[in-house]
Amino acid sequence: MTRRRFASLAATAPLLGAQSATATTAQVRFHNGTPTLFVNGQPTFAGYLWTSPPTPGPPTPGKWDAADSARAAAASGVHMYAFDVGAGHEWTRPEYDFSTVKTRYGRVLDADPQARFHLRCHLEIGIDDWWSKLHPDELELHSNGRRYTQSFASTVWRTQAKAFLKAYIAYLRETGLLDRVVAVQVGGGHTGEWVKGETSMYTVCGDYSEPMRRHFRAWLRNRYNNDETALRRAWNDPQISFANAEVPPAADQLDARQPIFRDPKVESRTIDYFRCLAELCGDLVIDYCRTVKEVTNNLKLAGAFYGYVTELAWNGEFFAERPDSDYSTYQRSGHLGLRAVLNSPYVDFLVSPYSYGFRGMGGDGPSMVPAESARIHNKLVLIEDDTRTHLDTSGLYGRAVNLEESTAILRRNFAGAMSRGQGVWWTSWGMDASKEPAFSKLYHEFSDLGTKLLATDRTPSSDIAVLIDDESLFYQTSRHNFDIPGIFQQKLWGLAHLGAPVDTYLLQDLIDNRLKPYKLYIFLNAFRLDADRRRALAAALHRDKRVALWIYAAGYVKDDLSAANATELTGFQFATGDRPWGPLMHLTNFSHPITNGLTQDLTWGTNNKLAPILYVEDPAATVLGQVVFSQGVTRPGFAVKTFPYWTSIYSAAPALPAVLLRNIARFAGVHIYSDQGDVVYATKDLLAIHTLSGGPRRIPLPRQAIKVEDLFANRQVAKNTSTLQVTLPPNSTTLYLISHA
């Protein structure tokens, strides 16, 4: 559809956007220590309502199924709306269909004349739709021979998707609707989240299409500087060439030759393919965001669902009953291209649902994106709070059973987002104030506090840095044997309940010297580091009495796989048990500060099979516990070793419990707010406690407070104190504003 056609359409109807006094401009800027949404030059709380897409028809009250919910949210101060557009809506045929856009957008404006829009723009077109019939050779080809939707490597799709973005934004400008737009979110893959549902979660693999073959071969030429000898050496294959290289077969994608790790000497083909896919996916996000920024003259935000690197240990079996889903979603999803996305000037924000793993009462609500990495790269993080409140009937995803639980969970997620300087969108069906009047009060509360707290110091203030390594994930098996206990469960069960806030980063940000100093560094999966990364990490870590906690086989992968590599990184001397088994740990030394007060029945580990088991054989180390693995072998597996400028702690098994992490944190000098297993969020000015049990709490504060206010209760609870003594209700979340002299 041409620009002339846009003009003629615009001339036939009133300009809906004319209801706005000025066109909306949006930017992300640092403000009081964190990336912040600025609308028309003013810092703005990014609080949205995610609604069902407005449907065609006259914009009369009651016809849009989310209209009542939107009106209730608007009455409470929420005026920004996220909804789906693009493929399946306006991009339903080659020439586009914008005929219903003004009517559909008008439904939102009818419910809320002050509405602004966040457009969740889907760019991937369904397998049974018109596009696949026109371009069958551009579709992803699976290992079982079936075709799926557009190959991420299809240049035809990329060109057409960018053309659609340009045409759609031009149409919105012609009709005045662009004045209402705050952000355009670009989406590919299943649900627009840059994950191919079938080939990232099950035994079916991809992508064997001709577009991907061409792209992979071109990528290899670039990676190996057009040096075929270097390619043959890396792949350990004298017959390989840039002209005949193929995407690795499903068996190689799914399983490594060793139980957990890929050996770069013999498995570089698979490692290269996963890296190629990640870089391709990240480049697509950047390219589509660049298009949005260019077409909107840099006056609107651009971003994506992307970077779920703390979450993608889950798989298809987590969401549906499938026997072929014992595989992590990490390597085959494309989300490992996050580093380039964070460095891109064209990407303003990243969105994710909050973690699916433990949403109910007593759980945590963190982003799937490493939150503090996004912050130091000036990316706004938006939390999709799709809580299944008591209004939901599915019983899934930690559904709240009553209003009390719904309130506590929604407040927990809001408090967590505020402590990390994030935005939030709520669902019009889960937090429907037209059906639950109490939600109107919550919308008022969140809108008012979200704006008020923009003035607080939101600089990351944790003493604990949690590091996840995207690079190491390329060198791990696609099986989830380590990822579930070592990343997914470690985050949600151990770290969430240790009683102090944590900051989460990509390991590379520490290596690049981007982080502020921390007292404790927890390395979830620091498995693969080359010589340069090892030197840089040592320079960042071996100073100022810093404490490092390494979990399972840290440093094992370098140019080869060996215990000596792990010794080089962690400082411990190791021996190995090579038979796969689920390592379990127990304490043997109770006199050290790390274990003092803990009981002999404390255990941790996993029943998932891991190998090798690296255990400590180091006379200079202080052994604190033993690891038990195959054939009942018992070896030193939990130890601490002190060096002149730093301290190293090692656990041979993952999934360290909160009570142990709390003692490690105290040993490192970390300030602990709660020793009761509560979920704690904190900044210099804020403290939030989410509790299942409730009861009296004596909470030490890092420094003297002149006043402490309970923001949800809207009352002062203490003054001139360094210790907060309160009684917390069961099943509750409390958010305190702490004022200092």
Tens of pLDDT along 279-305? Answer: 999 999 999 999 999 999 999 999 999
Phi, psi for residue 618 in degrees, rounded to 5: -145, 105
User: Which two tokens mark 574?
Assistant: 């190791």
| Whole-number pLDDT of residue 6 | 32
Map out the domains of the chain as residue ranges: 3-208+271-354+366-383+412-424, 481-511+520-667, 679-739
d(CA 337, CA 708): 42
Lowest mean pLDDT among 24-38, 86-100, 493-507: 86-100
Residue corresponding to tokens 């798989």: 315
d(CA 428, CA 54): 12
Reported confidence tier of residue 243, pLDDT bands at 50, 70, 90: very high
Residue 47 has pLDDT above 50, yes or no: yes
Residue 196 has pLDDT above 70, yes or no: yes
Tens of pLDDT along 130-154? Answer: 999 999 999 999 999 999 999 999 9
Question: In terms of CATH architecture, what is 3-208+271-354+366-383+412-424?
Answer: Alpha-Beta Barrel (3.20)
Q: What angle do CA 566, 660, 487 make, to 5 degrees?
A: 55
Count other C-beta atoms under 10 Å from residue 413's C-beta: 26
| Whole-number pLDDT of residue 12 | 29
| Whole-number pLDDT of residue 641 | 98
Length of the chain in terms of residues written: 741
Lowest mean pLDDT among 214-218, 319-323, 669-673: 319-323
Residue 372 has pLDDT above 70, yes or no: yes
- Burial tier of 128 (Cβ tally within 10 Å: 0-12, 13-18, 19+): exposed
d(CA 29, CA 42): 10
Residues 6 or more apart in contact with residue 216 via CB below 8 angstroms:
153, 245, 246, 247, 273, 276
| Whole-number pLDDT of residue 126 | 87
Q: In the CATH scheme, what is the code of domain 679-739?
A: 2.60.40.1180
Residue 129 has pLDDT above 90, yes or no: no
| Whole-number pLDDT of residue 22 | 67
Half-sphere exposure of 399 (CA within 13 A, CB side): 9
Cα separations in angstroms, 575 against 221, 564, 611, 633: 39, 9, 12, 13
DSSP string, 240-267: --TTT--PPPHHHHH--SSSSB--TTT-
Residue 178 has pLDDT above 70, yes or no: yes
Crossing angle of helices 3-11 and 155-175, in 10° steps, is 30
H-run or E-run covering 704: strand 695-705
Half-sphere exposure of 619 (CA within 13 A, CB side): 0
Amino acid identity of residue 553, one-letter, is A
Phi, psi for residue 152 in degrees, rounded to 5: -60, -20
| Whole-number pLDDT of residue 13 | 33
DSSP bridge pairs for 37: 28, 44
DSSP string, 340-367: HHHH-TT--EEEEEBPSTT-STT----B
DSSP string, 14-39: --GGGGSSS---EEEEEETTEEEEEE
3-state DSSP assignment of residue 521: strand
| Whole-number pLDDT of residue 314 | 86
Reported confidence tier of residue 223, pLDDT bands at 50, 70, 90: very high
Of 191, 9, 16, 207, nearest to 115 by C-alpha is 16
Residue corresponding to tokens 């206010």: 709
Residue 583 has pLDDT above 90, yes or no: yes
Query: Torsion angle of alpha carbons 225, 231, 233, 238, nearest 10°?
Result: -140
Of 129, 133, 156, nearest to 210 by C-alpha is 156
Q: What angle do CA 574, 576, 578 make, to 5 degrees?
A: 165
User: Could you write out the three-class secondary structure of 602-656?
Assistant: CEEECCCCECCEEEECCCCCEEEEEEECHHHCEEEEEEEEECCCEEEEEECCCCC
Count other C-beta atoms under 10 Å from residue 115's C-beta: 22
Q: In the CATH scheme, what is the code of domain 481-511+520-667?
A: 3.40.50.880
Reported confidence tier of residue 188, pLDDT bands at 50, 70, 90: very high
Rounded mean pLDDT of 169-190?
A: 97
| Whole-number pLDDT of residue 57 | 63
Residue corresponding to tokens 């979920």: 679
Residue 58 has pLDDT above 90, yes or no: no
User: Which two tokens mark 708?
Assistant: 């402490």
| Whole-number pLDDT of residue 15 | 37
Rounded mean pLDDT of 220-238?
A: 98
Reported confidence tier of residue 324, pLDDT bands at 50, 70, 90: confident
Phi, psi for residue 696 in degrees, rounded to 5: -70, 140
Strand 47-50, strand 80-86: pairing: parallel
User: Which two tokens mark 732?
Assistant: 């509750």
User: Which two tokens mark 713?
Assistant: 């209760």
Reported confidence tier of residue 320, pLDDT bands at 50, 70, 90: confident
d(CA 564, CA 641): 17
d(CA 706, CA 654): 41
Of 91, 262, 283, 271, nearest to 169 by C-alpha is 91
Residue 168 has pLDDT above 70, yes or no: yes
Phi, psi for residue 402 in degrees, rounded to 5: -155, 180
State the average pLDDT for the chain.
94
Tens of pLDDT along 59-112? Answer: 555 578 899 999 999 999 999 999 999 999 999 999 899 999 999 999 999 999
d(CA 141, CA 250): 12
Give the rounded percent of residues in the chain with a pLDDT score beyond 70: 96
Phi, psi for residue 204 in degrees, rounded to 5: -70, 135
d(CA 376, CA 544): 22
Residue 486 has pLDDT above 70, yes or no: yes
Give the rounded percent of residues in the chain with a pLDDT score beyond 90: 91
DSSP string, 41-59: TEEE--EEEE-PPPPSS--
Query: Torsion angle of alpha carbons 338, 340, 343, 345, nearest 10°?
Result: -110
Rounded mean pLDDT of 724-730?
A: 97
Residue 21 has pLDDT above 80, yes or no: no
Residue 371 has pLDDT above 90, yes or no: yes
d(CA 537, CA 521): 11
